Structure 1
């Protein structure tokens, strides 16, 4: 009896210890999650305050340059970023002279002479954010933070190859007298005078119009660049899931959204925002959501390529290939939207922008390609998270609200044939037109995580 009592005591003692351990585990997990939420909220408050100040400077910039468009400007930055890394280490890097400061250009040319450096491929930009604007009588200056990923390899033996993520801070400048080019001329690096595709000699002279293009005289140029961080993507990144603590953060709604909605209604001669927004969710957000997640699940972008911007497509392709290189795949099964909240409406001289926070539920997991073994996540327990989806189209497209919401997304918006032959560059296989620039309809330009979105 004493032996039994002694044994029972230790069993009970062990059960109590296990119970305490489980309690402490969940307690500290909750504490950690709460700390993450508080840190994210603090970062957001700082970001929102900075964003409001930035809006004031943006208003001042548009006051002197009414055709300045945030979307168009960032398109230009994206083009310059791609060319900078694609040309890096090559003799034709000098063609970027009209768009670089003398110091940055010489720095890269010196690397070419020594043969030191890296090559970059599979370049993709995840996010671009304007973080500062300065306007004075001599110059305009805009600072942009760029989150990107690429595969790089050494130009010298042993030619190591690495998948990397990076964040850089680029400072772009122009003389105060310079005005913005129209949106169509900012998607590529063009001569600001003849508007032809930028082919320049070593002196910065356009080979078409033979005009010497001096940095900052007719267009923005990169005055300075700073690497905030660069890190190799470790293998465990592909089988780790971060806690979706962003769900606990309230939706960030633009402080001037009431005015923005009123301007949108007036521009399109609409009576009630609620009616338009309800139709927009049903005819735009939901169908896009289904097509995009189906493309991610199947790796087949043919029926969705025309719906997404180039930057978003390139990012998705980078990560899909990175998963495959490591013999794993990421799956999101049965994705469902549980709620949609409007976050922002934006309009400028060329574009209209709608941003919505989408709350999502799905089965999310990472599995091995060979054995189809689940390495992380679950096929039976639903995962809940939210994302901010930003849709863009050019001003003047479908001014009639009924036509706006009548487009069948499974067809080419230009020739109306089935969208089953869309190329990687979003060119229709039937009419040959590139159709994801916002000329015809809404394009999903960006998807941003809830804990990092700052408006």
Structure 2
């Protein structure tokens, strides 16, 4: 593993890098993640996760909620802050560690009865996460719309709609051209109220 570098040094590697744009993207992605979790459908997240992280997240949702006939409701979501802490090169990838702080309410209901199983509709949860995001080393951030082609059949992709190539059916992530989540770790949690 290489040494970690301060984020101030990253633009030397990628002159087009804009921390504020990435922070805004991660903030929006956090809200999307919570909404997808509540809907029990992670499909919209597929392009933004590594294969391993997506599979882990989907397994957690499947074993904890889908198979049990439960729904986790995550509401009143507020991203309180996102910081880009440090970066390094790991193998063929650049990796950034980001801290995401959020507040939300969370409760679980039984799908058949609608009854509250656990949690609270009013208690506020405060969470701090450490996200590892990665992309191929050497990618340079560019302004404007980027055309992405399927690496399997070279067809143009509409990556915002789905992670599946409409032509050959391959699952595609954006890590060759953009940042994807490769790890999520909860590092602090507290609850206010009941």
State the TM-score, normalized to the length of structure 1. Answer: 0.34
Distance 1:139 1:164, change over 3 A: same
Distance 1:76 1:191 in 2: 19
Q: How does 1:241-280 map to 2 (within 5 A)?
A: none
> Which residue in 2 is equivalent to 1:7?
none
Q: How does 1:56-455 map to 2 (within 5 A)?
A: 58-59=8-9, 61-100=10-49, 101=53, 102-114=55-67, 115-116=69-70, 118-136=72-90, 138-156=92-110, 157-159=115-117, 160-161=120-121, 162-182=123-143, 198-200=160-162, 204-205=163-164, 212-234=171-193
Which structure: greater strand fraction?
Answer: 2
> Which residue in 1 is equivalent to 2:153?
none
Distance 1:79 1:104, change over 3 A: same
Q: Residue deviations 1:73-123, cap 9 Å, x none?
A: 111111211110011042431221111223334333443432346211121
Distance 1:192 1:219, change over 3 A: farther
Distance 1:179 1:105 in 2: 31
> Which residue in 2 is equivalent to 1:34?
none
What runs of 5+ residues in structure 2 fail to find an aligned partner?
A: 150-155
Larger Cα-atom Rg: 1
Report the 3-state secondary structure (helix = DSSP H, G, I; strand = E; otherwise coil) of the residue aligned with 2:43: helix
Compare relative contact order (CA 8 Å, sep 6+) and give the higher one, 1 or 2: 2
* Aligned Cα root-mean-square deviation (Å): 3.1
Report the 3-state secondary structure (helix = DSSP H, G, I; strand = E; otherwise coil) of the residue aligned with 2:64: helix
Contact 1:89 1:108 in 2 (8 A): no
Distance 1:192 1:170, change over 3 A: farther
Q: Residue deviations 1:171-213, cap 9 Å, x none?
A: 111121433353x66xxxx98566857221xxx21569x8852
Distance 1:176 1:69 in 2: 16
Distance 1:139 1:180 in 2: 14
Distance 1:232 1:120 in 2: 14
Distance 2:72 2:40 in 1: 14
What runs of 5+ residues in structure 1 fail to find an aligned partner?
A: 1-52, 236-455
Does residue 54 (structure 1) correspond to residue 6 (structure 2)? The answer is yes
Q: How does 1:24-43 map to 2 (within 5 A)?
A: none
Q: How many residues align?
A: 172
